[in-house]
Amino acid sequence: MTAAPSSKSQHRQITGKLVIATHNPGKLAEMRELLAPHGVEVISAGELGLAEPEETGETFEANARLKAIAAANTAQLPAFADDSGIVVDALGGAPGIFSARWAGPAKDFSAAMAQIERLLQERGATTADQRKAHFVSALCVAWPDGHLEEVEARSDGTLVWPPRGTAGFGYDPMFIPDGFDRTFGEMTSVEKHGLPPLGLGLSHRARAFVLLAEICLD
C-alpha cells in the first residue's frame, strides 16, 4: 500500500458534503459503508445527474483523478472517485485498467470472468501458483480549487474456477484473497471491506480507504 506522508497537517480534511463519483452500484454501496462512520454527508454522481467522463488514463491513479476532478468541477463540491480492477499475472497484467470494459456495455462480469478463464486455460495456467492475481484500488479526492488527495492499495490472491458465491460484484466470485479459502463472492460485505474491529479490511478498496482516512478523515 502506498500513500503520501501521513502527517495530517500536510493534507486537507474532508468536511461537509462529498460527491461519490461513480455510477457503479457496487462501488457506491461500498464507498457509502466506508464513509458512514466518519459522518460525511455523501451524494452520488448519479443522484446529481453527472455524466461519466471517458476513462482515458493509462493507470488506475490517472483514471481515479480524472473522475474525481470532473465531478468536483461540475458539482463544485469535493468529489471522491475510485478506479480499480483486477491484474492477472499470467495475462501480462490484463485486464487491469480495462477490467470494467471487459464486461462490455451490459456489465456482464460472468462473461468477463469466463474470458479470463479461457485465456488462462490457453496458457496452461492450471495450478494455483500460475493463477496469481491482485486487485488494485486507486482513490482520489478532488476539490473544486484543484487540491488533490490520492492513495492506492492492492489485495493479492489466486483465481479459481468455476466462480463461487453471489456476494460482492465484478470479479469477486473467482478471487480468493491470500490466507483464505473463500472467494470475495462468498464473503459478507463486513468480511470483505468492513474495517476492524468488525471486519478484516481485506479488499483493495478497504485498504486504500484506510490510507485515505489516515490523512483526510477524523
Q: Which residues does the annotation mark as catalytic?
A: 83
State the Rg of the chain over Cα. Answer: 17
Alpha-carbon distances of 107 from 3, 6, 218, rounded to whole Å: 31, 37, 36
Is the distance from CB of 54 to CB of 44 less than 8 angstroms?
A: no
- Could you tell me the three cell numbers for 142? 478532488
Long-range contacts of 95-101 (CB under 8 A, 24+ apart): 97/55, 97/57, 97/58, 97/59, 97/60, 97/63, 99/170, 99/171, 100/24, 100/170
Please compute, for residue 193, the number of CA atoms within 13 A of its CA located in the half-sphere on the CB side.
26
**Rounded to the nearest 10 degrees, how much is the dihedral formed by the CA atoms of 26, 200, 20, 150?**
-130
The cell for 164 is 463461487
d(CA 77, CA 214): 21
Query: Three-state SS for 24?
Result: coil
